[in-house]
Amino acid sequence: MSTGVVQSEQYRNSQKRKDTFISIFIGIFAFVWIFPILWTVWTSLRPYNDIISYGIFSWPRHITLDNYFNAIREMQIGKYLLNSLIVTVPSVILTLFFGSLVAFVVTRYQYKFNLTLLLLFTAGNMLPIVLTYIPVFWMFIWVGELFGNRNLLYNNYGGLILVHVGFQVGFATFVLSSYMKTIPKEISESATIDGANVFRHYWNVILPLLRPALAALSVLMTTWIYNEFFWALVLMSDDAKRPITSALRRLQGQYVTDFNLLAAGAIIAASPTVIMFFILRKQFIAGLTLGSTKG
Amino acid sequence: MSEEKNVVSRRSVLKGAAIGGAALATGGALSAESASAATRLKGSTVKWTTRGGGATGDKIAKAVNDAFTKKTGAKVVAQQVNSDDFQNNFAQIMQGSPDDAFGWMAGYRSNHFGEMGLLADLTREINRLKSTLPTAAIQGATSPVTKKPYILPTTYYPWGLHYRKSMVKDIGMNPEKINNWDDFVKLMTLTQKKGLVGYSLGAKGGWEAMGTFDILNARVNGYKYHIDLLNGRAKWTDARTKETFKYFAQLIPFMNDNVMDISWDGMRDLLLQKKTGAMMMGSWFANDFKAKSQADYDDLWVVPFPEINPKFGVDTIDAPLDGISVAANGKNVTGGKALAEFWASPEGITEAVKAGDTNIYVSKSFDTSSYDAFNKQKLAVLASAKNIMFFLDRDARGDFAGPVVGPAIQNFIKKPSDINKILENVQAQWDALPKN
């Protein structure tokens, strides 16, 4: 028996060593991740003049919050936050609605093309958006001209929402379908026996069961769409309609860019999602690991 | 002021022949046209885009646009966009639903899009402004292909050799007398002996060092050769081009070690922190010196790049020309043209200057009497030249300047001994470009 104790002690020691090693490893990576953010905060607290006079690595002569006040004023935060809201909320709701519809069909009903359909939706998600930018742009213009109004989709909130829904629905379908597979088939069967039609089956039986998954996904989607910058930039020609992420670009001049002011602006623009993360931590983690137990 | 006018007229004489018949409009047709335009204008809405400029940019735009509204009765809806974003997405913006008029840049950047039919022909407007514009500016705004102007020229700024007067005095030289190549080399040598950077350069973005190449080529081989070279009429493998790079190679030992790591703002910081003797740059950064202190600003100086070949003296300068263009796909092209014309007219300029515009306008009616010493010197630098280049990435086609010449200059700075191979490669890439 004593050998067993020695063995487990050895085992424990090696486990301890492994843990320390992993902790150090994680520590290094955490530092690498957090460093640029800390650097941004640090930069945002220093006046521009300090940097150009003494260099970026110099010891600070002044620490001030002026950059934040100036950024709030110059970015016209209220207007652009509202734009972000106008784009993000419908995008998330529509993405979840369409995503759950597709997921519902591919998991609850047996069709020949179920897997193909699911693959198609997921594969579309893999395309880098810069690749699809020019075709999407022309599609928007042509569809607009078909109805006699170029701005039907282009330079319009509706178009931007449509693009977000289109690009996010693949991921939503993927996650929701793997979650739906964990819902026992018997529930669906009894619903069918009780005479529920397809829509009732979706709306009254499956959707309520999806609630945790939808909550988790909506948090993730909101962050992604809120942080999105590219589409808003290229599909909105009116600056006044662009979301908060592009308002940051207002802080950049044609020649001279005050990076300290920009750093303050970046932190302001990023803060809603960071705050959201700390409040809804659980949903975030749930969203990232959703359906991972059942493939 | 009168000096400036003389210069302009000298330029006009020299360039007069070049523009030839940049379209003619008869007086009668003109007034009838403008009368109907005026009635159409009243009550219509014109959309305007300001490229960058922050709060000052908005203030200037508002002042000029309000004056336009007061004069014509047309409403102006203005917005400000990030300059880089606007430039990078320009083709798409113009093909979508663009604002009617906007600040833009002369050279290839307006000619190319004008030739594609995305910018409106401004022949009639430029003819009406003819008496206030120097001929060189009109020529600069006119496409050499279609002979039509797609931009109304407004402002420009000089690229010159910048240094601190105090530092030049420190090494025992006269800051007012950096005239030729020998003076220049002496300045760099003495500065370097003090443990500082003799000549600072940045090439991170690929375009910054083009300023040095432009001016060296113009000083060694003259304006005409430079423009011919950029438009394929001279060869990059020519012995004359190689001669320019021989001078460029002489500068490299005086440069900072981190040329590839810094952009123009890194160069500015070196001068601001008194770590460099001289640098070749556009004068737009002067306000940063003022922001640090008045003493720093007073210390800053700019001169034309020193003479190399006496045959050409200092007769050429890089002075990128900006102006107002009108989108051909805009909703209100008539309104856009009228607004553009107003911005480029003496009335519009007066409003802009009153609202705090510190740019140098090309217009002959532009009053510079209230200029400070540095700005007066900028005018003197502009006046010293009779040929104006617009900078390499505006004088040469866009698919050549940025993707080919930029990296070539970077490679040259990294390994000057490779110059023959680099120039052969540039020529080969030029030859491979589709021509129409």
Stretch A105-129: mean pLDDT: 81
Q: Which residues of B touch A254 (CB under 8 A)?
A: 51-53, 83-84
The string of DSSP letters for A90-136 reads HHHHHHHHHHHHHHHHHHHS--TTHHHHHHHHHHHTTS-HHHHHHHH
- Rounded mean pLDDT of chain B? 88
Count of CB atoms situated within 10 Å of the CB of A35: 10
CB B69 within 8 A of CB B339: no
B205 and B289 both lie in a single domain: yes
The two three-digit tokens of residue B198, written as one number: 């003799």
Question: What's the gap between Cα A186 and its chain centre?
Answer: 34
CATH number of the domain encompassing residue B400: 3.40.190.10
User: Which chain B residue lies closest to A139 (C-alpha atoms)?
Assistant: B96
The three-state secondary structure class of A254 is coil
| pLDDT at residue A291, rounded to an integer | 56
The three-state secondary structure class of A289 is helix
Q: Please check the confidence at residue B10 and state whether its pLDDT lies above 60.
A: no
Residue B225 belongs to a domain: yes
Residue B381 belongs to a domain: no
**Do the chains contact at A233 and B85, CB–CB below 8 Å?**
yes
C-alpha–C-alpha distance, residues B36 and B124, integer Å: 14
B85 and B227 both lie in a single domain: no
**Do the chains contact at A234 and B92, CB–CB below 8 Å?**
yes
Chain B: closest CA distance from residue A37 (Å): 22
| pLDDT at residue B286, rounded to an integer | 85
Q: Please check the confidence at residue B6 and state whether its pLDDT lies above 70.
A: no
**Do the chains contact at A141 and B83, CB–CB below 8 Å?**
no
**Do the chains contact at A49 and B291, CB–CB below 8 Å?**
yes
| pLDDT at residue B13, rounded to an integer | 36
Beta bridge partners of B317: B388
Q: How many residues does chain A have?
A: 295
Q: Which residues of A touch B89 (CB under 8 A)?
A: 233-234
C-alpha–C-alpha distance, residues B338 and B41, integer Å: 8
Stretch B20-30: mean pLDDT: 38
pLDDT digits (tens, 9 = 90+) for B58-100: 899 999 999 999 999 999 999 988 888 898 889 999 998 999 9
User: Which chain B residue lies closest to A259 (C-alpha atoms)?
Assistant: B265
Put simply, whether B291 touches A (Cβ < 8 Å) is: yes
pLDDT band at A216 (very low <50, low <70, confident <90, very high): confident
Buried b vs exposed e over A234-249: b needs ≥16 C-beta within 10 Å?
bbbbbbebbbbbbbbb
CB B388 within 8 A of CB B406: no
C-alpha–C-alpha distance, residues B317 and B395, integer Å: 13
B349 and B414 both lie in a single domain: no
C-alpha–C-alpha distance, residues A236 and A80, integer Å: 13
B232 and B189 both lie in a single domain: yes
Put simply, whether B81 touches A (Cβ < 8 Å) is: yes
pLDDT digits (tens, 9 = 90+) for B272-317: 999 999 999 998 888 888 878 899 999 999 999 999 999 999 999 9
B147 and B170 both lie in a single domain: no
Task: Give the residue, B346 or A53, on which the prediction is more confident.
Answer: B346
**Do the chains contact at A253 and B52, CB–CB below 8 Å?**
yes
B312 and B325 both lie in a single domain: no
Count of CB atoms situated within 10 Å of the CB of A164: 23
C-alpha–C-alpha distance, residues A114 and A181, integer Å: 13
User: Which candidate, A276, A275, A277, A250, places its Cα nearest to that of A264?
Assistant: A250
ipTM of the complex: 0.73
| pLDDT at residue A254, rounded to an integer | 60
User: Which candidate, B74, B86, B75, places its Cα nearest to that of B50?
Assistant: B86
Chain A: closest CA distance from residue B10 (Å): 31
**Per residue, what are the HEC states of chain B?**
CHHHHHHHHHHHHHHHHHHCCCCCCCHHHHHHHHHHHHHHHCCCEEEEEEECCHHHHHHHHHHHHHHHHHHHCCEEEEEEECHHHHHHCHHHHHHCCCCCEEEEECCHHHHHHHHCCCECCCHHHHHHCHHHCCHHHHHHHECCCCCCECCEEEEECCEEEEEEHHHHHHCCCCCCCCCEHHHHHHHHHHHHHCCCEEECCCCCCCCCCHHHHHHHHHHHHCHHHHHHHHCCCCCCCCHHHHHHHHHHHHHHHHECCCHHHCCHHHHHHHHHCCCEEEEEEEHHHHHHHHHHCHHHHHHEEEECCCECCCCCCCCEEECCEEEEEEECCCCCHHHHHHHHHHHHCHHHHHHHHHCCCCCEECCCCCCCCCCCHHHHHHHHHHHCCCEEECCHHHHCCHHHHHHHHHHHHHHHHHCHHHHHHHHHHHHHHHHHCCCC
**Do the chains contact at B98 and A237, CB–CB below 8 Å?**
yes
C-alpha–C-alpha distance, residues B133 and B140, integer Å: 11
Q: In which residue are the tokens 């009368």 written? A: B35
pLDDT digits (tens, 9 = 90+) for A122-131: 787 777 888 8
The two three-digit tokens of residue B426, written as one number: 């540039």
B283 and B134 both lie in a single domain: no
Residues near B12 by beta carbon (within 8 Å), at least 6 away in sequence: B134, B135, B136
Beta bridge partners of B26: none
C-alpha–C-alpha distance, residues B282 and B162, integer Å: 9
B201 and B182 both lie in a single domain: yes
Q: Please check the confidence at residue A240 and state whether its pLDDT lies above 50.
A: yes
Residue B272 belongs to a domain: yes
Supply the DSSP symbol for A148.
Answer: T
B329 and B289 both lie in a single domain: no
C-alpha–C-alpha distance, residues B251 and B308, integer Å: 13
B148 and B224 both lie in a single domain: no
| pLDDT at residue B423, rounded to an integer | 96
Residues of A numbered 226-265 whose beta carbons fall under 8 angstroms of chain B's beta carbons: which are they?
A: 233-234, 237-240, 246, 249-250, 252-257
Total count of domains within chain B: 2
User: Which candidate, B36, B44, B111, B42, places its Cα nearest to that of B77?
Assistant: B44
Residue B177 belongs to a domain: yes
C-alpha–C-alpha distance, residues A175 and B246, integer Å: 63
What stretch of H or E contains A258?
Answer: none
The three-state secondary structure class of A280 is coil
Q: Lowest mean pLDDT: which of A78-87, A109-118, A184-193, B20-29?
A: B20-29
Task: Give the residue, A168 or A1, on which the prediction is more confident.
Answer: A168
- Rounded mean pLDDT of chain A? 85
C-alpha–C-alpha distance, residues A177 and A170, integer Å: 11
B210 and B290 both lie in a single domain: yes
B266 and B206 both lie in a single domain: yes
Q: Which residues of B touch A54 (CB under 8 A)?
A: 273
Residue type, B192: Q
Stretch B164-175: mean pLDDT: 94
The three-state secondary structure class of A60 is coil
**Do the chains contact at A255 and B84, CB–CB below 8 Å?**
no
Chain A: closest CA distance from residue B53 (Å): 6
pLDDT digits (tens, 9 = 90+) for A247-292: 787 777 666 677 888 889 889 888 888 888 888 887 777 766 765 5
Residue B380 belongs to a domain: no
How does strand B152-156 pair with strand B360-361? antiparallel
Chain B: closest CA distance from residue A52 (Å): 6
CB B336 within 8 A of CB B326: yes
Residues of A numbered 47-106 whose beta carbons fall under 8 angstroms of chain B's beta carbons: which are they?
A: 48-49, 52-55, 74
Write out the residue range of the structural domain in which residue B397 sits.
159-318+391-432
The three-state secondary structure class of A252 is strand
Chain A: closest CA distance from residue B52 (Å): 5
Q: Which residues of A touch B54 (CB under 8 A)?
A: 74, 250, 253
Residue B370 belongs to a domain: no
Q: Domain coordinates of chain A in residue numbers? A: 2-44, 76-289
Chain B: closest CA distance from residue A238 (Å): 7
**Do the chains contact at A252 and B52, CB–CB below 8 Å?**
yes
CB B289 within 8 A of CB B300: yes
| pLDDT at residue B132, rounded to an integer | 92
What stretch of H or E contains A137?
Answer: helix A129-146
Q: Which residues of A touch B51 (CB under 8 A)?
A: 254
| pLDDT at residue B40, rounded to an integer | 75
Put simply, whether A145 touches B (Cβ < 8 Å) is: no
Chain A: closest CA distance from residue B44 (Å): 19
| pLDDT at residue B15, rounded to an integer | 40
pTM of the shown model:
0.78
The three-state secondary structure class of A45 is coil
C-alpha–C-alpha distance, residues B55 and B247, integer Å: 43
Among B49, B83, B92, B329, the residue to mutate for chain A (most A Cβ within 10 A): B92
Residue B259 belongs to a domain: yes
C-alpha–C-alpha distance, residues A167 and A121, integer Å: 9
The three-state secondary structure class of A63 is coil
C-alpha–C-alpha distance, residues A153 and A145, integer Å: 10
**Do the chains contact at A55 and B269, CB–CB below 8 Å?**
yes
Q: Which residues of A touch B291 (CB under 8 A)?
A: 48-49, 52
Beta bridge partners of B281: B160
| pLDDT at residue B336, rounded to an integer | 96
Q: Lowest mean pLDDT: which of A51-55, A69-73, B274-278?
A: A51-55
CATH topology classification for A76-289:
MetI-like fold (1.10.3720)
